[in-house]
Amino acid sequence: MIRDEILNQLRIAPGTRVRLGDFDPGWAQTDELRELGKGAVRERAAAILEKNTGELAEAQELLWASATRGVLIILQGIDASGKDGTIKHVMRGVNPQGCRVVSFKVPTEAERRRPFLWRHMNAVPARGEIVIFNRSHYEETLIVRVHPHLLDPAVYPADSINETFWKQRYEDINAFEHHLARNGTLILKFYLNISRDEQKKRFIKRLEDPEKHWKFSTSDVAEREHWEAYRRAFEDSISATSTDWAPWHIIPADQKWVARALVAEYITSAIRKLKLRYPTVSDDEHESLNQALRKLRDES
């Protein structure tokens, strides 16, 4: 288990003005971890991840059986921050029947003609289901803020894209997530925080390995030139939308094993706190089940 004092350092309280520079992507948040050294931290993180993978599988089965709550996990981060790998390793033990991953790409023409949250509302979890947004509705306050020309000028004239515009988008997102929470959806939001140097290392590694070329786009290098603009956009979004019902967690992600262990710990702990129970049956249903059992046992 990861101590609560460590987890609380990474959870953003409502009303906090976030400065990403205050969070160490390499992460050694306690003297204990610093003294352990990198190898020992990696071993401990692997053990935590393994334990939580098993517990998450059990929690998901209970979530699916009770069908009273849904879970929405939101993953955001700069390119190469480890979103795909986090999903792969943290969710590897869950039943695919009760888990979906949704990646929101460039909006289609039909999606652009509707309110910006429309396609996300259509993808939220049903009761009993876990849904992971690998990128999410927050892209509508990130990439389009860094590149406002991507907004349809017929709908959003240039002179309307100002601080009030973004404030209203944050308000819409908070209302959207509050609506989900009031209707039984547990919302967990994670920003995978990597350094610029670590992103460079991961890009180079992809380019040097032909089998990883498919993971790289030349636009990734072009977007690196907007590093600070993206950081400011993330800071504004996280500051404005970390709420009691949908808190943000800033996950140190330079070390992949640490990020995965932390995300697994948060998810498992949050589902456990829902105190879900397996469905019970009425006395009449119980008697019917006993009759079915007796009939099966009596078969020749």
The ranges assigned to domains in the chain are: 4-298
| pTM summary value | 0.89
Q: In the predicted model, is pLDDT for residue 15 greater than 90? A: yes
Number of Cβ atoms within 10 Å of the Cβ of 290 = 10
Rounded to an integer, what distance in angstroms lies between the CA atom of residue 213 and that of residue 198? 18
Q: How far is CA 196 from the centre of its chain?
A: 21
Q: How far apart are CA 183 and CA 273, in angstroms?
A: 17
pLDDT-above-70 percentage for the chain: 93
**Cβ atoms of 182 and 69 closer than 8 Å:** no
Q: Are strands 130-134 and 70-77 parallel, antiparallel or unpaired?
A: parallel
Q: Which two tokens stand for residue 44?
A: 């401990």
Alpha helices in the chain (DSSP H): 4-10, 31-36, 38-66, 83-90, 109-112, 118-121, 143-146, 163-182, 196-208, 218-224, 227-241, 256-272, 283-298
Task: State the first-to-last Cα distance of the chain, in angstroms, to the nearest integer.
Answer: 51
Higher pLDDT, 287 or 5: 287
Rounded average pLDDT over 80-105: 92
Whether the per-residue pLDDT at 21 is higher than 50: the answer is: yes
Query: How large is the angle between the packed helices 83-90 and 38-66, nearest 10 degrees?
Result: 70
* Among 71, 75, 21, CA closest to 259: 75
43 or 15, greater pLDDT: 15
Higher-pLDDT residue of 279 and 138 is 138
Predicted confidence (pLDDT) per residue in 173-207, tens digit: 999 999 999 999 999 999 999 999 999 999 999 99
Contact by Cβ (8 Å): 10, 262: yes
For residues 154 and 123, the answer to whether their CB atoms sit within 8 Å is no
Neighbours of 139 (CB within 10 A): 19
Burial of 225 (0-12, 13-18, 19+ CB in 10 A): exposed
At residue 26, the 3 state secondary structure works out as coil
Each residue's pLDDT tens digit, 23-65? 999 875 545 555 555 566 677 777 888 888 888 899 899 999 9
Fold annotation for 4-298: Rossmann fold (3.40.50)
| Residue 241 structure tokens | 């939308």
**Residue labelled with tokens 């819409």:** 172
Tokens representing 104 are 């929101």
What lies within 8 Å, CB to CB, of 234 at 6+ separation is: 20, 76, 142, 191
CB 187 within 8 A of CB 69: no
